Structure 1
């Protein structure tokens, strides 16, 4: 009989995934990592028993945090990823052949190494791409100290508990704003608003103070349960006003096959339901 992993991220709500086979279970300096096989979602990665990504539905999350800002920008050459140790975000970013350089900052080298071995389908060769520079460092410290400039910054953080907590602060967002080029775009993972409304509200207050064009967009990822997930959006450039036909042209030129992202979905993702709108300042 199979075991079940019960995720208890939220105080009043939980989800469970069947563990057909436990493939990896080890505690690192920062967190406990598990990888197991599930009949529907394939290989599943958890940190401290909270689902981070799955072989089956990761494409939704990764596509929406990469293709939305990169195609909206239209001329991005340098991208920074904070987090994303499994390599899925780097995989999607590097599908844009127009990019010159991608920097990825991951706090836990153990996540990268075991992902290469146990979740190679997520990175799909991204760690070997010569355009990628992998930095093992605290994302907040890197952002505070860097003098580099980036066209797109993607914050692929865990939830705002433990090591990921500092990536949701006003100070961190301020440092990120300083590291953007003039028309650069910052996008962030901001949880499931129905269950984590304060997380989105707090980030949006900071974004409102920092950016001329700020807000969030959404996507529905099955294993991030509780409704659609929100992604923070901040820029001082014109990227938020790109018309559909221009997005379509950029998407066609990029020649990227996607499972979730389309230019139509891109535009529609910024249309927010009332309960999410009310969480914005």
Structure 2
């Protein structure tokens, strides 16, 4: 049984791809990629679902390829196994798998490569996430502690050798206990320290509790409302991710609302000093939360002088997403400041943004930021400080090239 097993979860595939919707194009595509790679088809079966979607399999002399599509969410799963008993088919399998992925053109991809048989152990499994169709990131999996499929998504917690407990949603890396501070500290403190006295904060997503934990470090905070669509995320965080939230999910100042973030913002009549969009990447339940319409709804819930913060992707490997996010934010907010952090778990220099009608984080000197941190008694942070505040806002040339035309050199423009 010695062989190679390749598993893929591909999301946000373009809807115009026929193989997403129809059995015959999918059958032809699967046959083409395996035959071009030098694998032998000995049987096949494909089934068309109504009103949409396909499941299918090729029987190979070397083993099998199975594919399932969800056109309504632009998702595909693929399972390719080859036996290496009489010859090494590993490279053939990788070529076929890569060609299949390229045909579906996913914006997000998570893949695993598992050595079967021989001396393989569970520790040989790798967790992978593709940043774009040609570039990705992986780490050794270790041991899976929990897995659950909900009405919204698939949740997993892994205990990994490199990053400790690691949280994934739909195969995408969300947070880990060893490096979460790269993400949560900067997402929260850069806008929060610029606000003179933040009292009311809204977190959309953020069911792991990391953003709430950072907000509570500001002594003026009276209420943090966390709106999480999936109750299972909060329960899994309580069970496994205490090193990320430090009990914030059960702090009396934190209000948990289990509902859709878009619906909540549309009907909510409260106003906030800070809104933190602690979201998954665009796609699935979060797709509607990366739109000009949602940003406009959030702006209506901000108090004068308030600010919104969110992550907007990696400018080098996801330049279109990064640039479009800034353009969409700029359609509502007068001042949009991108800032950059290299997040280990995300495998890239990651983009964030602070958006406001009046608050400009670049207007604060190093001395002013240091003074506010001291006055609020915020100490012991592992990334954010007065110097990194300024450094994150300094943009390399290739990032400046992605800024909307109206932003000018400084990154702030008029709505």
Q: Same fold (TM over 0.5)?
A: yes
CA distance in 1, matches of 2:282, 2:343: 19
User: 1:201-212 alignment to 2 at 5 Å?
Assistant: 201-212=323-334
| 1:164 is aligned to 2:305 | no
Q: Check whether the contact 2:137–2:346 (CA below 8 A) recurs between aligned residues.
A: no
User: Deviation above 6 Å: which 4+ runs of structure 1?
Assistant: none
Q: Which residue of 2 aligns with 1:44?
A: 166
CA distance in 2, matches of 1:199, 1:150: 27
| 1:196-252 deviation per Cα after TM superposition (whole angstroms, max 9, x unaligned) | 2222212211222222221311111111113x1111121122443122222111101
Q: 1:208 to 1:61 in 2, by over 3 A?
A: same
By how many angstroms is 1:253 displaced? 1.7
Q: Which residue of 1 aligns with 2:258?
A: 136
CA distance in 2, matches of 1:79, 1:239: 18
CA distance in 2, matches of 1:82, 1:189: 12
Q: 1:113 to 1:277 in 2, by over 3 A?
A: same
Deviates more, 1:153-162 or 1:231-240: 231-240
For residue 330 of structure 2, give the secondary structure of its aligned residue in structure 1: helix
For residue 223 of structure 1, give the secondary structure of its aligned residue in structure 2: helix
Q: Check whether the contact 2:202–2:226 (CA below 8 A) recurs between aligned residues.
A: yes
Q: Which residue of 1 aligns with 2:225?
A: 103
CA distance in 2, matches of 1:110, 1:238: 35
Q: Which residue of 1 aligns with 2:396?
A: 273
CA RMSD across the alignment: 1.2
User: 1:213-232 alignment to 2 at 5 Å?
Assistant: 213-226=335-348, 228-232=349-353
CA distance in 2, matches of 1:90, 1:31: 22
In structure 2, the gaps of 5 or more residues are 1-120, 405-415
CA distance in 2, matches of 1:161, 1:238: 29
Q: Which residue of 2 aligns with 1:65?
A: 187
User: 1:1-281 alignment to 2 at 5 Å?
Assistant: 1=121, 2=123, 3-226=125-348, 228-240=349-361, 241-256=363-378, 257-281=380-404
CA distance in 1, matches of 2:243, 2:321: 30
Report the TM-score, using the length of structure 2 for normalisation. Answer: 0.66
Q: Check whether the contact 2:306–2:359 (CA below 8 A) recurs between aligned residues.
A: no
Larger radius of gyration, structure 1 or 2?
A: 2
